[in-house]
Structure formats: C-alpha cells, structure tokens
Amino acid sequence: MPSAGRDVRLTAFAGTRTDALHGLLIRAGNGLGGRVLLTARPGSVDDYAADSRISHEYDKPVITEGLRAIAAVPVVIGASVSGVLYCGVREPLPLGDRVLDAMSRIAMRISVELTMRAEVERRLAELDTAAIIRTAREAPTAPEWEAVREAHAELRSIAQEVADSALRRRLEVVCEQLTRSGDRPARANPLSPRELDVLALVAVGCPNAEVGRRLGLLPETVKSYLRNAMRKLGTHTRTETVVAARRAGFLP
C-alpha cells in the first residue's frame, strides 16, 4: 500500500463560486480528503455536513461553497500519496462506483505525468552537472563519461514521451550542451532528430529491437534511420558511425 500521512493544500479548481476552498490545508486524517490521504483509498459522502463517518474540521469552507455530495481519490506517485483529486456537487446524492472509477482513471493519468516530470527533472539535474563539468574542461573518467552517455540516450528517449513543449525544449538544450566541446568549432549536424535518437541508443549498446522498444519504432524503421546516418556520415558499420558522430560532436 502506498505510504500516506502527508498534508496537502488545495490549489487547482474548476467550477467554484467562492474562494472559500482556495489554499485550504487538508491534514491527514481530517475530513474526507484527510481520510483518503491516510488510507490511500478513494472515498465519497452523499451529504458532507451530515455524514457521521468523517470529522468536520472543514465544514465552514465546504458549506460556504455550497457542496453537499463529494468524492475524493488519491494521486499516488511512487510509494506515496502526493495529492487528492476531488469532485463535488451542490445537492445530496450518492456518488457511485462509476464516478470513483472515472476519477481514479484521471488520477492515474496525473500520476503518470507527474512521475515522468519528476524523472525528467532528475535527469536534467544529472545532465546539467555533466554539462558544467564539460564547460569547465575538467576531465571526467571513462566510467563517468559512460554514465553521461547512458543518461543522454535515456533522456532523448524520455523526451519523445513528454507532451509539455517547454519541458521538451529544455531536454533538447541539455542534449545540445552535452555534445558541445569548447576546444573545437561547431559543425552543422546533418542528422535528423530521429536519426540522432536512434544513434544515441546504439552508442550505449542497445540492439535494434531495444532501440525500437524505447522509441516506439519498428526494427526495420530503426535500420532505415541507421542507414541514413551512415550515408550522411560516410560510414559503413554501427561502431564506425557512433565513433564518427562522437568525433563530430553530435554525441557525447
């Protein structure tokens, strides 16, 4: 079961008529949302103010907003409940399993997106550090560079799944920083972004099937991108192509 117990603050709203709920701090164990935080399970009440199964610390803001029937589901990230998704109506009525199931699906999508964002931020922090080291012209050891190359390849894969254009651009900028060298002039990169994605994974030892799985491509499509990269770089093998791309500064 996910760990629970943290407090959450209500921050995003749709359809409210007052500011009574804005910024409200929900403590674990208190009210409907607090019970969801504590148990990591969805819950609902047919008439909030009259329900005897929950504590009533938040009656004033809830009543001010005019809410009667309320449903709440946990947003789980990793092993923790990190938020609560609410739905409320202004009349007493039962909110059945269909409502909770629909809300749980939405909460799952939110969890996936937030998990991906957290992983991207973690990768960005790692790669920002590597870029700083390179800019300072320090000399990382061979194992450190292999870790950078692994992260670079993984980051390009993650970027394909990110819907947020601003976040995706941040990933692209970091990738560009990793392939720059202060002691050689910049050279125009003839490789397409997809060819570079494929080559980045090949460079860290991924076979074609694994490259295809990570990037959502068929094996034959992966081979086609590799052939295009070889033609553009004037090479004949996978290894030769990776070496040429690194020498030209297209890969870290």
Check: CB of residue 71 under 8 Å from CB of residue 100: yes
Check: CB of residue 42 under 8 Å from CB of residue 36: yes
Q: What's the pLDDT score for residue 146? A: 66
**Is it the case that residue 197 has pLDDT exceeding 90?**
no
The residue among 46, 36, 102 whose CA lies nearest residue 75 is 36
Q: How many residues are there in the chain? A: 252
Per-residue pLDDT tens digits for 28-64: 999 999 999 999 999 999 999 899 989 999 999 999 9
CA distances from residue 226 to 35, 69, 159, 188, 209 in whole angstroms, order as listed = 54, 58, 20, 19, 13
Percent of the chain with pLDDT over 90: 39
Q: Domain residue spans in the chain?
A: 8-95, 115-248
Q: List Cβ neighbours of 84 (8 Å cut-off, separation of 6 or more).
A: 8, 26, 33, 36, 37, 72, 73, 74, 75
What is 115-248's CATH number?
1.10.10.10
Per-residue pLDDT tens digits for 106-162: 999 988 888 888 888 777 766 654 554 454 334 444 555 666 667 777 777 777 777
Architecture of domain 8-95: 2-Layer Sandwich (3.30)
pTM of the model: 0.51
